[in-house]
Amino acid sequence: MNIDLLLAYYCAPTLKGLKPANLILHETFKKPQASYELEQMKLALQDKQIEMLHLWDCPDKTLTLVYHRDHLWRHICQPDIKAFLKKEGYPVDVSLNEVLNILNSRISKGSAFPHEVGIFLGYPLADVIGFIEHQGQNCKFCGYWKVYDNEEATRSLFDLFTVVRDHMVTELQKGNKLMEILQSA
């Protein structure tokens, strides 16, 4: 598996600072070379304050949160987001690592998927609440997430995400490395 392509395709908005995080479900890296490349990528991304958090795996698949540390922290510290997370059982006066540990625990338990994960991914609060209240049904439209509010602005944002993703993928296809693409921005 090409780690550069995986990250560019599924995480371009986060890598370019347009959203705080992306969640990717990918093949488990079983070969030593792939594991080594993943560790090298993690180290390289840390220079850009981008981290990769292993959340869950089974024999063939792994769920990984790719996030920009400061961007995510600023996002979840917004008063309305904090209030929502508190209502969902998250402590509000703890570090980002502690909040992510709780999310990790909820995901790894394997019971009902914690739909508040949308908050961590930078989805608008109204869309996360709409998804929970409507149990994933009756959205206005579906793109990078299910949209329940502010349709026009969200369509524009989705278009931007697609442009950024397609640009990164095109640059990779030309032979550039992901870190080179990120440095040129």
Q: What is the pLDDT of residues 21-40, one digit of tens each?
A: 999 988 777 666 767 888 88
Q: What is the pLDDT of residue 32?
A: 67
Average of per-residue pLDDT across 54-83:
92
Q: Percent of the chain beyond pLDDT 70?
A: 95
CA gap 39, 92 in Å, rounded: 31
Percentage of the chain modeled with pLDDT above 90: 74
Q: Measured on CA atoms in the order 116, 118, 120, 123, is the torsion positive or negative?
A: negative
Band of the pLDDT at 113, cuts 50, 70, 90?
A: confident
Q: Residue 183: what pLDDT?
A: 87
The arithmetic mean of pLDDT across residues 151-173, rounded, is: 97
Least confident of 51-60, 83-92, 147-156: 51-60
Q: What is the pLDDT of residue 185?
A: 59
> Count of CB atoms within 10 A of residue 169's CB?
16
Average pLDDT over residues 152-157: 96
Give me 72's structure tokens: 């995510």
Sign of torsion over alpha carbons 95, 101, 104, 105 = negative
Task: Give the chain's mean pLDDT.
Answer: 92
Please say if the pLDDT value at position 1 is more than 70: no
- Return the closest-CA partner of residue 20 out of 163, 91, 119: 119
Please give the pLDDT value at position 39: 85
Question: What one-character DSSP code corresponds to residue 53?
Answer: E
At 71 the pLDDT is 97
Q: Is residue 18 pLDDT above 80, yes or no?
A: yes
